Amino acid sequence: MMRRIAALFHARNLEFIRDRASLSWNLLFPALLVLGLAFVFSGDDKSLFKVAQLTTTEQINPQQHPFLSTEHIQFFTLEDRAAALKKVATHQIDLLLEIHDKQVHYWVNSESANGYIVEKLLLASDPAAFKQTTQGQAMRYVDWLLPGILSMNIMFSCLFGVGFIVVRYRKNGYLKRLNATPVAAIEFLIAQILSRLLLLLSVTVLVYMGTDYFLDFSMHGSYWHLLLLTALGIFCMISLALTLASRTASEELAGGLLNVISWPMMLLSGVWFSLEGSPEAIQMLAHFFPLTHLINGARAIMLEGADLSDIRYSLLALSGMSLFFLLVSAKLFRWKAE
C-alpha cells in the first residue's frame, strides 16, 4: 500500500512541476497581487466607514451627538473594550467611541486613512471629543490583507488544481485504467492530498518569504504555528475539492461547481474586508467556510501573536471539516465516467 501511494505521489509531483504555466501562475499570481495591492491600497481607500461604540447603560441623545447621525458611516456596538481596541489596531473598524456624561472619548488607528477621515468628521461635529491612545501597535492595511490573499490563493489552487484535475482524469479514462490496478480509492485520494499539500505548502512559503523581503510584514506569533495552520487549511481545501470531484465527469460542470463554492468563500470569508458590523446571518454563514477559519487563524497569529490555544476554534473547525470531506469523498468516489 505504501509503495503504491509513494508511486502515485511521485507521479503527481512530476506532473505539476512539468506544467510550467501552472507552476509559474501559482508563484507569480499571489506575489504580484500582494505587491500591487500594497501600492493601490496604501491609502486604505475603502468606500464604507465602520465606527463601533462601546455599550453603556446611559441613554444617549443623538441630538447631543450629531456625529451619530452622519451618513455613509456604519455604526454598531461592542461590549469588550480590549477586543474592540484590537479591531481598531488591525483595521477591522475605523474608529471606536465611548460616550459618558456627554463627554466623547475615541480611539483611532494612526495608520488608517479611513480612521483619519472619520476622526475629522467626529471633531467637526464634536470638537471637545477626547482622543485616547490605542493599545498595541497599529497595523498597515497590507499586513491585514496578506493572510487573506495567501489563503485565497490556497483555495483556488486546491479547488481547481485538485478537483478539476480529478475530473479530467475521469473524463479521459485515466481513472478507469487505474482501477484495473490494485490501487484502492482511498490510496488514490491520499496520494493526491499529500502531493498537493507538499507542493502548495512549499509555494506558499516561497511567496511569503519573497514578498516579506520587500514589504517586511508584521509577524507577532510563531512561524511554526502559522505553518501548521496553513498545512491544515490546505488539507481541508484539498479534501473539499475531492468531495466536489468524487462523482463529477464533466469538466464544465466541475468548473461551475468549483466557482459556486469558491466565489462565496472569497467574498464572505474576510479576504478583502472585515465582516465586522455586517448582519449576523452573514457572519454565521461565513463560519461554514474553511477559508474563514484559515484567514482568522492566520491573522490572529500574525497580527495578535496568538498561539495554538488561542486559535483552537479555527483548528478544530478545519480538522472537523477535513475529516468530513475526506470521508464523503472516499464514500462517493467512482473511477468511471458513466
Contact 128, 13 (CB under 8 A): no
**pTM value surpassing 0.75:** no
- The phi, psi pair for 96, rounded to 5°, reads -120, 130
Contact 58, 99 (CB under 8 A): yes
Give ranges for CATH 3.40.190.10 in the chain: 44-132
The pLDDT, as a whole number, for residue 136 is: 54
Q: Which fold has domain 44-132?
A: D-Maltodextrin-Binding Protein; domain 2 (3.40.190)
CA–CA–CA angle 61, 66, 68 (5° rounding): 80
The pLDDT, as a whole number, for residue 46 is: 46
Low-confidence residues in the chain, pLDDT < 70: 19-30, 32-48, 56-64, 101, 133-139, 250-252, 277, 337-338
Residue 17 is classified by DSSP as: H
Cα 336 from Cα 143, distance rounded (Å): 46
Q: What is the DSSP string of 159-172?
A: IIIIIHHHHHHHHT
pLDDT, one tens digit per residue, over 59-103 is 666 666 778 888 778 888 888 888 888 888 777 788 898 887 678
What cell was used for 230? Answer: 496553513
